Structure 1
């Protein structure tokens, strides 16, 4: 009986054509950057004048696409695209004017932070409804970013002060300052209706109105020492006229003088009292101004 040798199983290798992998050139972050090295060398060699300014404008026009792209990164943040573009162009003009090619740094490395910084400065200085210190604005941005990142976690609960402080490395006091500034970016209209209010009850309805009685109290207190310094006859005339509502004729009969004399005494006394009170008020204002200085 002939032994049959088991033939090894032939495996068929699938031949695939060799593919050449082409290394695609990675798109540069600033691929809209033109080559203006020669123009910058000419600018640095020229004295100030029309020729140098015309060459600067030529370079600005060449770099405008990059400035527009950088401005587009800040869209949908409460500012119009045209205004952002104008601010970015202002930063570009500053960068072209200040750039020195002798430092050995490429212009785009200098221009990008200059343009971006100008746009951020515009947001900081012109779009806040209230004046907020720069440090508090930075805290506000860090707190806002932390809240957004923490809200993406599986734990859907609202992050507290301690959570934000742990996430950002800030102190809880700084976190509270940033949280208070979250609503300071834009102001609320006094005509805006309050949440849950009925019949159009607005914020302006919660504000008080000036109380004229307060002014009268201040005026009376300011007049007291001046009235005490008046002669007895002038004090009695003012008392009868303004507190007892006596007529000038009846006051004249009481004091045995003419009505014309009573009228002159009232006018002269009131005028002197006004001058004394105004002088005292001005002295207090000047004293407070000097203390503040």
Structure 2
């Protein structure tokens, strides 16, 4: 890391644009500002007040990336969503500390995988691999204790009937608890699997496909502010066409205009959004 004098660092940080509230910076503005702040971060001495100011501003300016990534996991309890956002912030901070301008890549593209990866690790470490009803989660704990107790007494693995008697549960519920226990841990995609043809492969060779939609993450992030800048009617037409999935005829009937007029408005709006994406 290049070290410069205190006077020089003061001059460099003073040349940065003053951001009154970094957390309120629009995503498209944050992209350009972030590059300028990263340029300063590379020449500042770590641990100095100037370095901390630049780093903290970068974190606040890019909090929208965390909210965007956390949106993938919407529908959970409010308390859990708070944990998700906090975990995503850890991923953002790691991305800022590891990002290098020499990569010639947008920080957005670099940060999103770090944020999502951190959130997924949170789920892996703190939750069940698959959703299991709470009563079966509790039954699994009792089953584990009963199994250990009987194994100690009998010197062997207990039968379902023996577990049923000790736990005071019907045998079918003991079976359910055993099945539920399988949902607590998931096999690693790197787990080795023996095959008759080529000797050994890993689990990921046999399941899943490449998620091509990941390439659209940055486009969606850049598109949001462009849509927000549209006129109300244009934004409404976009919503009706691509969210409600109405036809142009149905949109025209809804708005009280002709299908041809809807077509012209839609083409003009899409052209504007396309141009905005290409110039951001």
Q: Is the pair's TM-score, using the shorter chain for normalization, greater than 0.5? A: no
Normalized against structure 2, the TM-score is what?
Answer: 0.37
Question: Which structure is higher in RCO with an 8 Å CA cutoff and minimum separation 6?
Answer: 2
Normalized against structure 1, the TM-score is what?
Answer: 0.36
Specify which structure has the higher proportion of helix. 2
Which of the pair has more CA radius of gyration?
1
